[in-house]
Structure 1
Amino acid sequence: MNFLPTLRSLVSAYQAFEHYSAPDLKGLGLTMTQFDVIATLGNQPPMTCKELGEKTLVTKGTLTGVLERLQTKGILERKMNPEDARSQMIGLTDAGQKLFERVFPAHLQHLEKAFEKLSPKQLKEVQESLNLLKDIF
């Protein structure tokens, strides 16, 4: 059970990230999940719900509700998939793309303030360690 301190550090790091990131997104009028979806769809061609789920950090059950709320706000649209009538293509509306162009760079600037405290070498080491953890699971 010598992995428990590592597990605690991992969870604490993610909680600290959320604590730093979420208020900035709230100030931009979004939740972390909404931002994740908008950031994934921004400057991209429409994609299926399955593809979107694979590219975001959002679970399938949560994704459905988030997509419905974003569609109601006029931020995204769903169209029938011409290659498979059983699925829909999801993309940003013009208003959604404008929102992406406003909030994405603003939030990245906010995050950069924290990450710039690490050297390029430290950033690479953190990335490699996180990839190693991902791969073992």
Structure 2
Amino acid sequence: MNSTSTFPSVLRELLRTHQAFLAYAASHVCTLDLTLPQYDIIITLGDSNGMTFKKLGEKTLITKGTLTGVIGRLEDKGLVQRVASETDGRSQIVKLTAAGEDVYQRSFPEHLSFINRIFDDYSPEDIVNLEDSLKRLHKTVTALRNNESGMPSDETDQ
């Protein structure tokens, strides 16, 4: 396959799909008076006992530099709180407040239903094929990134 002819069209479609998905998801999240990064934190913390900043950064799509600001804005809204870690005095745990837990419980099932509409016209086989293709692409990109940086392959990064 000629990589110079494949690269622009495949990359363009991948990026267009990513942007369209984020805009679609944001259209629901904005009805909650939240941004996508804020909602990402709420659904990540939902049904948990809280997480360190490091763990939240690993489990969300939020960059480390942005995470503190997002948490601060959620604190201002009364949806999360920071508490000292019982096991490590240097770290803090971010937890949902009662109001944050209420937002999570009320909105998450509805949000999943909203997102699942994307796949209404897909057969189960289509979904499996799409997931397999995306996993293959992710594995390839991760392996190449790790080879370029000299980092070992991280099997948990899938």
- The TM-score range, normalised by the shorter chain, is over 0.9
Q: CA deviation at 1:19?
A: 2.2
Residue number among 104, 107, 121 corresponding to 2:108 in the alignment = 104
Provide the aligned C-alpha RMSD in A.
1.1
Aligned match of 1:119 in 116, 119, 123? 123
How far apart, in 2, do the equivalents of 1:19 and 1:117 lie?
20
1:78-93 counterparts in 2 under 5 A? 78-93=82-97
Could you tell me how far 1:59 is from its partner in structure 2? Answer: 0.6
What residue ranges of structure 2 are gaps of 5+ in the alignment? 142-158
- What is the Cα deviation at residue 95 of structure 1? 0.9
C-alpha distance in 1 between matches for 2:74 and 2:18: 25
**What amino acid maps onto 2:78 in structure 1?**
G
1:88-128 CA distances to partner (integer Å, 9 max, x unpaired)?
A: 11110111101101111111111122222211111111111
- Partner SS state of residue 30, structure 2: helix
Q: TM-score, normalised by structure 2?
A: 0.82
Task: Give me the whole-angstrom Cα distance separating, in 1, the residues matched to 2:113 and 2:28.
Answer: 10
More relative contact order in 1 or in 2 (CA 8 Å, sep 6+)? 1
Query: Who is 2:45 aligned against?
Result: 41
Tell me how many residue pairs correspond in the alignment. Answer: 137
- Match in the other structure for 1:77: 81
Within 1, Cα distance between the matches of 2:68 and 2:136? 30
Q: Once the 2 structures are TM-superposed, how far is the Cα of residue 81 of structure 1 from its aligned partner?
A: 1.1
Deviation of the 1:28 alpha carbon: 2.1
If the length of structure 1 is used for normalisation, what is the TM-score?
0.94
User: SS at the partner of 1:126?
Assistant: helix
Structure 1 residue ranges (4+ consecutive) displaced by more than 4 angstroms after TM superposition: none
Larger Rg: 2
Q: Which SS does the other structure have where 1:3 is aligned?
A: helix
